[in-house]
Amino acid sequence: MDAEIILKVDGTEYQFVADTRTTLLDALRERLGKTSPKKGCDHGQCGACTVLLDGKRANSCLALAAAYDGSEVVTAEGLAENGDLHPMQRAFVEHDGYQCGYCTPGQIVSAVGMLEEAEAGWPSHVTEDLNVEEIILDDGEIRERMSGNLCRCAAYANIVPAIREVSGR
């Protein structure tokens, strides 16, 4: 079965017809040429496919495109504005927060979404006081909140400082 789908991706609206089995990740990559979200595990375990879906970070491999008709998607590519890298992208470059780079777009989008969650006062599993007003993102908090993004090169030692630097601004 085919469905007509409208998606706003990185500021541009797209209209296309796709099989209802098409995941958001496959729609982005194969239909719209948006290849910054990566297919790692395709089962929601690695985070390489992370996008901002209606403003919240999500695994695009587990979302059916037809179910998100009318939604707004931001990929790592769309984080840059007017050709300038997003502060998180710059921090990853400055801190060498990758080796092969395959997980990087997902890491960066996830980190951007994560900072907004912390800003909103959302606690995490390692937040000592559940009722705390302001979240202080120390390394333990960053690691816990980013546990849905795996890096097989294990560049975590540089990813964490990159995120910490942006969170401190």
Partner 1 sequence: MRPYSYVRAQDVAGAVATLAEAPNAAFLAGGTNLVDLMKLGIETPDILVDVRRLTSERIEDLEDGGLRIGAAVPNSVLAADRKVRTRYPALSQALLAGASGQLRNVATTGGNLLQRTRCVYFYDTTTPCNKREPGSGCSAIEGHNKNHAVLGTSEHCVATHPSDMAVALVALEAFVNVQGPGGERRIPIEELHRLPGDEPQRDTTLEHGELITSVDLPPLAFSSNSKYRKVRERASYAFALVSVAAALDVKDGVVRDVRIALGGVAHKPWRATNAEEALRDEPAIRENFRAAADIELEDAQPLRDNAFKVPLVRNVITRTLLELSEER
What does the binding site for partner 1 look like in residue numbers (CB under 8 A)?
1, 3, 19-21, 23, 42-44, 47, 50, 53, 56-59, 62-64, 66-67, 110, 113-114, 117, 120-125, 127, 130-131, 143-149
**Whole-number minimum distance, CB 24 to partner 1, in Å?**
10
Closer of 34 and 145 to partner 1 (Cβ): 145
Closer of 62 and 85 to partner 1 (Cβ): 62
CB 19 within 8 A of CB 60: no
Q: Which residues contact 110 (CB under 8 A, 6 or more apart)?
A: 47, 50, 57, 146, 148, 149
User: At CA 8, angle to CA 121 and CA 100, rounded to 5?
Assistant: 70
Question: How far is C-alpha 26 from the geometric centre of its chain's CA atoms?
Answer: 16
**Whole-number minimum distance, CB 83 to partner 1, in Å?**
28
Closer of 21 and 93 to partner 1 (Cβ): 21
**Whole-number minimum distance, CB 113 to partner 1, in Å?**
7
Neighbours of 139 (CB within 10 A): 12
